[in-house]
């Protein structure tokens, strides 16, 4: 019987967050994802007859080990452990800011008291009492606690049931419980691996972009006109160290060598594949765009084969299916999302006259906070439905190589990554190039000091600074409230090199590289408007006084192209007016609906069909032709300063949500009654 072999790879990764001067973790994302995702995602799988590959990055596992050995090595945990009445004002300010670092809809709102505190923070009376601060600390930790803990841990269950008015003793007990839980993570992976249900692959140690380390000019293979940094020393020898260090680390934990490597960000090149072969790596993977560029052929059927590059087997991810789980399905009903996923697999199966190998590869930690119930309902539905399909076999990457599949020889690969098939996310922008130049200068100094007693320690800080994440946050293509912390950690690791070598730290390393922050630039309305709701910009003056904002401001390069691009908004004494620009004609009269969510102290949602004719229901007017125009009576909601987001759906399936990670805050409270135009 013909089979479709479905290879999942869940990539678990965090950069190395430790401040080399304080020896404290600057950010607690390893800990938070550990209690929410690193145990949770394989646990979901363990309950079904489903197989998958989990990619565990050494820099992540090393940090989990350090948390187990010394939880106080994390600034966040060290601070939150303190009794609130002993906190300094700076510490309180830090906590009040960080303790709302959770998804509003899926993590904050489900905990009633947490949501009350969220509303208070955004009110005029935002000063918290000591009791409120204790509640906030506990509820934040509970919001990040995964379903396994919520269902099986006595302390977590009791504190969830209590809901509020927590004590310092209960807080401390929770922290101890959660840090103890970290000890269970790696044993679960070992157990599932020994059982044969999962395969564990790994990545170069500190998650560097190997092709750029091997030859920085490889960036020109996919982008010939890219502006490269002026480096003084190359990194080819470091690429080999990053791979060998990862292999040795893996062997020490799992008592065997890894068969597979997921290269950081799916970044491969001819040099990378040769390095893998030298280190006895049997398989690796990348993105379909890399294959398309290498073959100069965008035929989708090519990605469902396996390729052999001088003995190293290469898989190429199905971008649509991978991104559907990562981005598209998060706001969909699980049944509808899974039906879409399996129907697309069925299409691949029926079109293939061989056993297709479908690789679905994505981050294993970052998507689930955007799913209800941390993705549990989606995974339960997905794994159950996959178990029911006789024509689908979920399988690990090493196992599928033993099956009857098409294997084709690949003589050369065009260097690229899983983002656009190139390296523009990590090099080419002035900020990214500056970081490379600083890195190169530090390496040049270091390599003249091989006899220095601190050389080995200094070298490790160089390897840390070669990690991809620092370069990811430079430039203007990604947004994070913590981008300045990533910038600081990158520069601190370079500063530490000079300190260990007893050399003066270059003054430029004391100054931030990061200058551009990707935040929404909202142009506010300058007067009342009263557009005609017909789906056309009828005249120049119709939206002249409106506000304006780019809906894609927070999109990462991992995201997909959007239908809706820009929002214009305005109001008069009776209506809120919204105009959405983009590829509107492609969705008009084709079964699409637009969900408008207004969030604040007043929460309302409007689900509106996208049709060319003017529709009016409950006073709301909508029409879509060249643009989507909507008029919503102000009487339908009370707040005049609110957060808003837009979700586009087709037959109940979410196509896109904008903004993808955030909401827009709009203010329509200004009275323009006495504003006169002369």
Give me the CATH topology for the region 547-667: Immunoglobulin-like (2.60.40)
Cα gap 153→173, rounded to integer Å: 12
Neighbours of 638 (CB within 10 A): 11
Count the residues in the chain. Answer: 678
Give the DSSP per-residue string, 320-367.
HHHHIIIIIGGGS-HHHHHHHHHHHHHHHHHH-SS--EEEEEEESSSS
Check pLDDT > 50 for residue 676.
no
Residue 627's pLDDT is 94
Residue 601: pLDDT band by 50, 70, 90 thresholds?
Answer: low
Tell me the two tokens of residue 268. Answer: 């491969």
Residue 604's pLDDT is 85
Check pLDDT > 60 for residue 280.
yes
Residue 135: pLDDT band by 50, 70, 90 thresholds?
Answer: very high
Write out pLDDT tens, residues 631-666.
Answer: 999 998 888 888 898 989 887 777 888 887 567 889
Beta strands in 615-671 (DSSP E): 615-617, 620-624, 628-633, 641-650, 653-658, 664-667
Residue 126's pLDDT is 77
Residue 603's pLDDT is 76
Compute the CA torsion angle 150, 151, 153, 157 (nearest 10 deg).
60
More confident position, 634 or 8: 8
Write out pLDDT tens, residues 22-48.
Answer: 999 999 999 999 999 999 999 999 999
Residue 600's pLDDT is 66
CA distances from 287 to 233, 361, 363, 453, 552 (A): 29, 9, 13, 42, 23
Residue 559's pLDDT is 46
Residue 233's pLDDT is 85
Residue 613: pLDDT band by 50, 70, 90 thresholds?
Answer: very high
Write out pLDDT tens, residues 77-108.
Answer: 999 999 999 999 989 999 998 999 999 999 99
Check pLDDT > 90 for residue 350.
yes
Cα gap 398→284, rounded to integer Å: 10
Average pLDDT over residues 53-66: 98
Mean of the per-residue pLDDT values of the chain: 93
The residues spanned by each domain of the chain are 430-510, 547-667
| CA end-to-end distance (rounded Å), the chain | 79
Residue 555: pLDDT band by 50, 70, 90 thresholds?
Answer: low
The reported pTM is 0.82
Residue 639's pLDDT is 84
Identify the helix (H) or strand (E) that includes residue 116.
Answer: helix 112-121
Share of the chain above pLDDT 70, in %: 96
**Which segment of 136-150, 217-231, 270-284, 503-517 scores lowest on mean pLDDT?**
503-517
CB 558 within 8 A of CB 468: no
Residue 560's pLDDT is 56
Question: Which residues pair with residue 628 across a beta bridge?
Answer: 580, 624
Check pLDDT > 50 for residue 546.
yes
Residue 677's pLDDT is 41
Residues whose CB falls within 8 Å of the CB of residue 390, separated by 6 or more in sequence, listed in order: 1
Check pLDDT > 70 for residue 236.
yes
Using the structure block, give the residue that is written with the tokens 């560097």: 208
Average pLDDT over residues 476-486: 82
Residue 678: pLDDT band by 50, 70, 90 thresholds?
Answer: very low
Identify the helix (H) or strand (E) that includes residue 42.
Answer: helix 40-46
Identify the helix (H) or strand (E) that includes residue 498.
Answer: helix 483-500
**Which segment of 32-46, 214-228, 297-311, 523-537 scores lowest on mean pLDDT?**
523-537
Question: Which residues pair with residue 629 across a beta bridge?
Answer: 579, 623
Residue 562's pLDDT is 85
CA 47 to chain centre: 26
Residue 364's pLDDT is 96
């Amino acid at each position: 019987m013909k089979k479709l072999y479905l290879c999942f790879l869940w990539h678990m990764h965090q950069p190395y967050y430790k401040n080399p001067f304080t020896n404290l973790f600057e950010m607690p994302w390893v800990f938070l994802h550990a209690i929410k995702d690193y145990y949770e995602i394989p646990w979901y799988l363990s309950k079904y007859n489903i197989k998958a590959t989990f990619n565990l990055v050494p820099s992540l596992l090393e940090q989990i080990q350090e948390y187990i050995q010394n939880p106080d090595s994390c600034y966040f945990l060290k601070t939150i452990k303190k009794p609130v009445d002993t906190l300094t004002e700076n510490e309180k300010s830090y906590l009040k800011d960080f303790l709302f670092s959770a998804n509003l809809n899926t993590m904050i709102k489900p905990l009633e008291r947490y949501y009350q505190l969220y509303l208070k923070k955004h009110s005029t009376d935002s000063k918290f009492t000591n009791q409120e601060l204790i509640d906030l600390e506990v509820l934040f930790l509970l919001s990040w606690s995964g379903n396994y803990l919520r269902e099986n841990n006595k302390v977590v269950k009791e504190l969830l049931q209590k809901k509020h008015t927590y004590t310092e003793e209960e807080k401390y007990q929770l922290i101890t419980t959660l840090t103890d839980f970290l000890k269970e993570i790696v044993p679960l992976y070992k157990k599932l691996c020994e059982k044969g249900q999962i395969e564990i692959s790994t990545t170069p140690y500190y998650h560097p972009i190997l092709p750029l380390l091997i030859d920085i000019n490889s960036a020109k293979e996919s982008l010939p006109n890219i502006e490269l940094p002026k480096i003084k020393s190359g990194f080819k020898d470091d690429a080999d160290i990053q791979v060998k260090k990862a292999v040795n680390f893996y062997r020490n934990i799992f008592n065997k060598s890894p068969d597979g490597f997921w290269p950081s960000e799916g970044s491969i090149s001819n040099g990378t594949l040769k390095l893998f072969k030298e280190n006895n790596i049997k398989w690796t993977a990348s993105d379909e765009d890399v294959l398309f560029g290498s073959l100069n052929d965008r035929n989708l059927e090519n990605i469902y084969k396996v390729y052999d590059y001088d003995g190293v087997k290469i898989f190429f991810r199905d971008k649509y299916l991978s991104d559907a789980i990562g981005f598209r399905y998060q706001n969909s009903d699980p049944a509808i999302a899974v039906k879409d996923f399996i129907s697309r697999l069925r299409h691949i199966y029926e079109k293939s006259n061989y056993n297709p190998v479908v690789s679905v590869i994505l981050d294993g930690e970052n998507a689930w906070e955007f799913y209800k119930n941390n993705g549990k309902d989606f995974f339960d539905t997905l794994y159950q439905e996959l178990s029911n399909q006789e024509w689908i076999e979920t399988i690990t990457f090493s196992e599928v190589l033993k099956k009857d599949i098409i294997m084709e020889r690949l003589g050369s690969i065009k260097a690229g990554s899983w983002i656009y098939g190139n390296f523009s996310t990590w090099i080419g922008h002035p900020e990214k190039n500056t970081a490379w130049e600083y890195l190169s200068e530090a390496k040049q100094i270091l390599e003249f000091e091989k006899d220095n007693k601190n050389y080995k320690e200094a070298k490790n800080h160089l390897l840390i600074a070669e990690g991809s994440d620092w370069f990811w946050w430079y430039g203007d293509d990604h947004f994070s409230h913590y981008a300045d912390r990533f910038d600081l950690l990158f520069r601190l690791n370079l500063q530490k090199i000079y300190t260990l070598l007893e050399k003066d730290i270059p003054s430029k390393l004391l100054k931030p590289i990061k200058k551009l922050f990707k935040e929404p630039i909202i142009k506010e309305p300058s007067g009342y408007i009263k557009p005609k709701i017909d789906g056309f910009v009828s005249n120049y003056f119709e939206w002249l006084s409106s506000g304006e904002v780019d809906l894609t401001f927070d999109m990462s390069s991992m995201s997909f192209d959007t239908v809706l691009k820009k929002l214009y908004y305005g109001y008069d004494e009776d209506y809120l007016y919204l105009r959405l620009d983009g590829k509107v004609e492609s969705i008009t009269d084709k079964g699409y609906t637009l969900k408008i969510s207004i969030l604040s102290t007043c929460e309302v949602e409007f689900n509106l069909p996208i049709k060319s004719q003017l529709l009016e229901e409950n006073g709301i007017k909508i029409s879509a032709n060249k643009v989507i125009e909507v008029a919503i009576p102000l009487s339908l909601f009370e707040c005049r300063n609110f957060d808003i987001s837009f979700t586009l759906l087709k037959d109940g399936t979410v196509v896109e949500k904008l903004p993808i990670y955030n909401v827009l805050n709009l203010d329509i409270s200004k009275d323009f009654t006495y504003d006169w135009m002369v």
